[in-house]
């Protein structure tokens, strides 16, 4: 009888160990596929802390190439000042900025999907060029001109 109890305890412990092993992600996993930015492969977080351009391949991998994006927040006074400037740039160029509100769950999900963390708002990404803070209209126009190869 004592031997049967010991055996049952051993089997239970092995079962619990296996359950723990596989539930914590230590078991075999499928490797994520590469190449398609719409796949769910996670990207390392890119900290946007200064106005360095995002390298072209990294920019493409993150789905930011050929985009004009502004990361903003509803609580950001500089973002509110920037809104009419961006409207002028849009009306002069015909380019529409994708406005991502980082104070919303949708905005943070978008930033996570693209592996971005902006330390300051507003942060604009225009075809891989990063502009931090509210700039003058001519800075956005110049960035768009560079993006279009001009």
**Cβ-based burial of 106 (10 A; exposed 0-12, middle 13-18, buried ≥19):** exposed
Q: How far is it, in rounded angstroms, from Cα 147 to Cα 140?
A: 10
- 11-20, 47-56, 64-73, 101-110, range with the lowest pLDDT: 11-20
**Residues near 60 by beta carbon (within 8 Å), at least 6 away in sequence:** 37
What homologous superfamily does CATH list for 46-147? Glutaredoxin (3.40.30.10)
Does the pTM of the predicted model rise above 0.75? Answer: no
Q: Which residues pair with 62 in a beta bridge?
A: none
Q: Which residue has the tokens 């160029």?
A: 93
User: Is 144 within 8 Å of 68 (Cβ atoms)?
Assistant: yes
- 13-17, 46-50, 97-101, 102-106, range with the lowest pLDDT: 13-17
Q: How far is it, in rounded angstroms, from Cα 74 to Cα 137?
A: 21
The DSSP call for residue 37 is T
The domain locations on the chain are 46-147
Q: How far is it, in rounded angstroms, from Cα 48 to Cα 132?
A: 8
pLDDT (0 to 100) of residue 22: 55
């Amino acid at each position: 009888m004592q031997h049967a109890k010991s055996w049952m305890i051993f089997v239970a412990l092995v079962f619990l160990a296996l359950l723990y092993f596989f539930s914590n992600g230590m078991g075999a996993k499928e490797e994520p596929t590469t190449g398609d930015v719409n796949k769910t492969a996670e990207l390392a977080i890119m900290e946007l802390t200064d106005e360095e351009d995002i390298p072209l391949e990294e920019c493409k991998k993150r789905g930011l190439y050929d985009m004009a994006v502004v990361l903003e927040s509803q609580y950001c006074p500089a973002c509110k000042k920037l809104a009419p400037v961006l409207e002028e740039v849009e009306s002069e160029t015909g380019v529409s900025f994708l406005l991502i509100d980082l104070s919303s769950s949708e905005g943070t999900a978008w930033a996570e999907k693209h592996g971005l963390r902006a330390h300051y708002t507003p942060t604009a990404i225009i075809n891989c060029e990063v502009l931090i803070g509210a700039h003058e209209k001519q800075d956005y126009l110049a960035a768009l001109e560079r993006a279009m190869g001009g």
